[in-house]
């Protein structure tokens, strides 16, 4: 992860173009495995001071999150995670504490709960900030992994859970609140930031044209789908399932929508489908939130009948 996703994106794009690394550019690399199965592979890192802070980290939850963000990438291809390899880098001081073993305990417990086996890893000393890097391997039926590039004009856009909780949780942590707060709503939002729980696709993959997980934020990740697919899109503000605890804990509606659009790290699935009634599939948890448009349409959001263009930096009302 990076606080400058734009730069990372450009760098990876330039690498791909320069070196014809055709495998790069989706949530997971899709590699040949057997006659009927593809291998999915993805790796992510969480760095102290950038992705987490020791002052509020709970080592067990950090271990869970480090694995969850890569499990989420496998779910985002419609795949099943199977194995994980983890690299932990810690200072001598943290090593003397039980930070690393608590982190691994949290990772292993979460791994069991999602059917992942920890298959290997490495532990290193650092002179300074800690980090944890996890590679997850999974599988998908051959040539049926769901890319981010398949969205078609007219598709409906869905998300499989509430949004904004992780961003609001981060804001609360930055304001001094902690996971042991007495308010259950605040605890819930902080939990969503510290230990997100991605859910797999619970409907038939043939109903889905394109999919990505929401790590950078709804707008940024929808933009990734649009760029990869060569399409535009519109969101319907009133239909976005904003995490209810955000307003309950004192944020106003505008701030709550902003967390949902740009907070990031909710690790929900964002998908497009020609079907307009996926919400009715029991257990899917899907909410319809927008529509795929033609390439000529810029990303926009419609709220109370007013359309505003969405860019990755902020709002811009049509004049």
Closest contact distance (angstroms) between CB of 50 and a second copy is: 5
Member of 6, 11, 174, 314 binding a second copy (CB under 8 A): 11
Q: Interface with a second copy includes 299 (CB under 8 A)?
A: no
- What is the x/- site pattern for a second copy, positions 45-74, by CB under 8 A? x-xxxxx-----------------------
Member of 93, 127, 254, 313 binding a second copy (CB under 8 A): 127
- What is the x/- site pattern for a second copy, positions 133-152, by CB under 8 A? x-x-x---------------
- What is the x/- site pattern for a second copy, positions 87-126, by CB under 8 A? x-x-----x----xx--x---x--------xxxxxxxxxx
CA nearest 183: which of 242, 240, 251? 251
Q: Interface with a second copy includes 29 (CB under 8 A)?
A: yes
Give the chain as a 3 state SS string. CCCCHHHHHHHHHHHHHHHCCCCCCCCCEEEECCCCEEEEEEEEEEEECCCECCCCCCHHHHHHHHHHHHHHHHHCCCCEEEEEEEEEEECHHHHHCCHHHHHHHHHHHHHHHCCCEEEEEEEEECCCCCEEEEEEEEEEECCCCCCCCCCCCCCEEEECCCECHHHHHHHHHHCCCCCCCCCHHHHHHHHHHHCCCCCCCCCCHHHCCEEEECCCCHHHHHHHHHHHHCCEEEEEHHHCCECHHHHHCCCCHHHHHHHHHHCCCCCCEEEEECCCCHHHCCCCCCEEEEEEECCCCCCEEEECCEEEEECCCCEEECC
Closer by beta carbon to a second copy, 56 or else 83: 83
Q: Interface with a second copy includes 42 (CB under 8 A)?
A: yes
Using the contact rule CB under 8 A, the part of the chain among 79-87, 180-188, 246-254, 309-317 near a second copy is 79-87
Q: Interface with a second copy includes 77 (CB under 8 A)?
A: no
Q: Which residues between 211 and 250 bind a second copy (CB under 8 A)?
A: none
Residue with tokens 């730069």, as numbered in its chain: 7
Closest contact distance (angstroms) between CB of 88 and a second copy is: 9
Closest contact distance (angstroms) between CB of 13 and a second copy is: 12
Residues in contact with a second copy by CB under 8 A are 1-4, 7-8, 11-12, 14-15, 19, 21, 23-24, 28-29, 31, 33-35, 37, 39, 41-45, 47-51, 82-83, 85-87, 89, 95, 100-101, 104, 108, 117-129, 131, 133, 135, 137
């Amino acid at each position: 992860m990076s606080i400058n996703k734009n730069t990372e994106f450009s760098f990876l794009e330039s690498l791909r173009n320069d070196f014809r690394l055709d495998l790069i550019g989706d949530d997971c690399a899709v590699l040949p495995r057997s006659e009927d199965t593809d291998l999915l592979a993805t790796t992510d890192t969480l760095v102290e001071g950038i992705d987490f802070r020791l002052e509020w980290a709970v080592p067990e939850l950090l271990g869970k999150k480090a694995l969850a963000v890569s499990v989420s990438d496998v779910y985002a291809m419609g795949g099943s995670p199977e194995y994980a390899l983890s690299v932990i880098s810690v200072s001598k001081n943290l090593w003397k504490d039980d930070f690393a073993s608590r982190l691994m305990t949290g990772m292993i417990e979460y791994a069991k709960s999602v059917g992942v086996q920890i298959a290997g890893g490495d532990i290193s000393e650092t002179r300074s900030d800690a980090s944890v890097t996890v590679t997850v391997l999974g599988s998908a039926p051959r040539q049926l992994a769901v890319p981010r590039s398949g969205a078609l004009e007219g598709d409906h856009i869905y998300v499989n859970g509430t949004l904004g909780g992780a961003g609001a949780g981060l804001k609360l942590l930055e304001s001094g609140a902690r996971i042991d707060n007495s308010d259950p709503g605040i605890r819930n939002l902080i939990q969503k930031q510290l230990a997100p729980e991605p859910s797999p696709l619970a409907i038939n993959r043939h109903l889905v044209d394109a999919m990505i997980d929401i790590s950078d934020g709804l707008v940024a990740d929808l933009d990734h789908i649009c760029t990869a697919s060569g399409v535009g899109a519109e969101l319907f503000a009133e239909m976005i399932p904003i995490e209810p605890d955000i307003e309950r804990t004192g944020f106003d509606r505008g701030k709550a929508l902003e967390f949902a659009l740009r907070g990031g790290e909710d690790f929900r699935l964002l998908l497009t489908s020609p079907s307009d009634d996926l919400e009715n599939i029991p257990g899917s948890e899907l909410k319809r939130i927008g529509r795929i448009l033609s390439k000529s349409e810029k990303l926009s959001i419609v709220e109370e009948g007013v359309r505003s263009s969405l860019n990755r930096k902020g709002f811009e009302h049509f004049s």
